[in-house]
Amino acid sequence: MQEPTQSDKELNILYRISQITAMRRQNISSLLTEVLEIIEKEMGVKRGTFSLRPAGTDNLIIEASCGLTTSEKNRGQYRLGEGVTGRVGQTGQPELVPDIRKSADFLNRTKSRKDEKTAFLCVPIIHNNEVIGTMSIDLSGKTDDELEQYFLFLQHVAQILASAVSTIREEIEERSALEAENEMLRRQLGDRYSIDSMVGNCSNMRMVYEQIAQVADSTATVLIRGESGTGKELVARAIHFNSPRKNNAFISVNCAALPENLIESELFGHEKGAFTGAAQQRKGRFEMANGGSIFLDEIGDISPSVQVRLLRVLQEKTFERVGGNESITVNVRVIAATSRNLEQAIDDDTFRDDLYYRLNVFPILLPPLRERKSDIVLLADHFLQKYADSYGKEMKRISTSAINMMMAYHWPGNVRELENCMERAVLTCSDGVIHGFNLPPSLQTSDGTHTALLPIEGANLKHMVDSYEKEIIIDALKKHRGNAAAAGRYLNTTQRIINYRIKMLGVVPSNYK
């Protein structure tokens, strides 16, 4: 049988390398190492290296090698233009050194070569006209013609590898960027939902903060109770993002917003064909939350049939998808919330008492805003800054009249209503100050505030108008450091009229300098 020629060997090697690069890989080192192993075995190469240039750097670092120890490989680093390898990386031109002993440019940075005649062949790996790395091999006992043939062959190998190496590198960089972005978002979420970021300093809220700190590190089920708009989901997120599960999923489900015939499918998923419209298998929220936390808002609104399945998940951590028989085990922390009176629901037989006891392991009660009067101004300032930043407006303060209105109001919608009020006020404000007339009408009526606008019994229209006008003039004087003329121009009136109204209303401009 005829011995294969050198050309036949090279074609066979190129074919095998092409097959390797056609396979999708996640690791550049494994691809390059496999290529070097083929070349080493089939061509008698003494040493071989692949050096890559990390994006945004001027360095070439050995990514894969054969015939080198780990320490020798780690020493093989070159800056662009440094030595033969660095020059090939800089110019993109291949170089052949027939005898490294006679080359002043050969640095032997790896310290792996002895004092013997060795040829060094180095070629660039180029993709989109950019040198992304180099490939080099050591050969001994070859004639000049043989070295030229190997040199040309090596350039073909580099051309085949260029696209595959570049693709893998881009995927790795993209994956690294996504991981870095995810980590940054996790940190931002952790900061956003940390206990320190929550607004409120009344005794009731300090107790809530203490309870969050107590329960966050555990796996206990938490039941958050409070009126609508008191911030139950914010507390649930604070528990999750201050727990060991913070890097895993937080899944929020509003049970009241889901139709009764769909809530089981939403929570537990369904198999293909389980019901009309179930065209494919679908994971439920519990599966999505595996390893993390699931927040079940308005838990008091779920139907008795769903209550039974939820009780099993809490007890055994297992469930089946709708239409399925396979038991699915999950590791999920359950945080529930309700604005309903669950004790009354138990008496009315609309809520299971055994489920209630499973949920009520660690209850947290959020106070309504009307019981947090000392926090109203803190919250208002917080939302003022939030929506000033959001809408790009420069906001300075909240006027006394607006503060009085907010303090007198009973806030049936709690913190959510206050936030909506401040957003509206920022949108309608034209001078950087939130006035009473920037607040919704519900805060400006005696019915809405459960009080009169003036503390004078039987106040008539003139008294109320004078009081309102006085607040406007005082705000204008504060804005212009007690300068009545500037305040008059700001209010689009004359200096004579503004001085007359100041005198009639008993306002002292010097108090506002």
Whole-angstrom distance, CA of residue 166 vs CA of residue 55: 11
Q: Are 267 and 253 in contact (CB under 8 A)?
A: yes
Mark residue 426 as left, alpha or beta (left: phi above 0; alpha: psi -120 to 50; beta: remaining). Answer: alpha
CATH class for domain 195-367?
Answer: alpha beta
Mean per-residue pLDDT of the chain: 83
Where is pLDDT greater, at 55 or 290?
290
Domain ranges of the chain: 6-174, 195-367, 372-451, 454-513
Q: Is residue 413 very low, low, confident or very high in pLDDT (cuts 50, 70, 90)?
A: confident
pLDDT tens-digit readout, 91-125: 999 999 888 888 888 878 787 777 778 888 899 98
pLDDT of residue 507: 86
Close Cβ partners of 257 (under 8 Å, ≥ 6 residues apart): 298
Residue 334 has what pLDDT?
Answer: 94
Q: What is the pLDDT of residue 344?
A: 92
CB 356 within 8 A of CB 310: no
pLDDT digit string, tens, across residues 273-321: 767 777 787 888 999 999 999 999 999 988 888 899 899 999 988 888 8
Helix 400-408 and helix 461-479, axial crossing angle in degrees, nearest 10: 130
Q: What is the pLDDT of residue 193?
A: 56
**Yes or no: is domain 372-451 CATH 1.10.8.60?**
yes
pLDDT at residue 455, rounded to an integer: 44
What pLDDT is recorded for position 45?
80
- Give residue 199's pLDDT: 83
CB 230 within 8 A of CB 369: yes
As a CATH number, domain 454-513 is 1.10.10.60
Decide: pTM greater than 0.85: no
pLDDT at 450: 44
Q: What CATH number matches the domain at 6-174, 3.30.450.40, 3.40.50.720, 3.40.640.10, 3.30.43.10?
A: 3.30.450.40
Tens digit of each residue's pLDDT (9 = 90 or more) over 340-359 = 899 999 999 999 999 999 99
Q: What is the C-alpha separation between 406 and 370, in angstroms, rounded?
A: 10
Percent pLDDT > 90 in the chain is 22
Q: What is residue 191's predicted lDDT score, i.e. its pLDDT?
A: 52
pLDDT value, residue 418: 93
